[in-house]
Amino acid sequence: MDRVALRGLKARGHHGVFPREREEGQTFIVDLVLSLDTRPAAASDDLTKTVHYGVVAEEVVDIVQGEPVDLIETLAERIARNCLKHDAVREVEVTVHKPDAPITVPFDDVTITITRSRV
């Protein structure tokens, strides 16, 4: 499989278990690796035979900005399911970063990474 990667998609969401997270929101960053066979698109130079990563990026931002969830695990799962709706995508790796997580000690980032594929 070939891979198309989108890194650093940023959006403000209201996800988290604490009331302050739900009320104020925070920035979430998403990285995606979409696995697909790009040979048909490369041979024909035809966008319809691959995944339109601009559309995927907009959909991911909409999900992050959309209905709040408690866990970034749930958010990652929603993003993965959406990516797999695109016909060309056979597998997706999703990393959700929560750099402003409510942790009481110094840290750089909190992430969850999941991999989902068509079964």
Catalytic annotation, residues: 98
Residue that the structure tokens 């970034």 belong to: 72
Residue 91 CB-half CA count within 13 A:
9
- Whole-Å CA distances, 102 to 22, 49, 66, 68, 105: 12, 42, 20, 16, 9
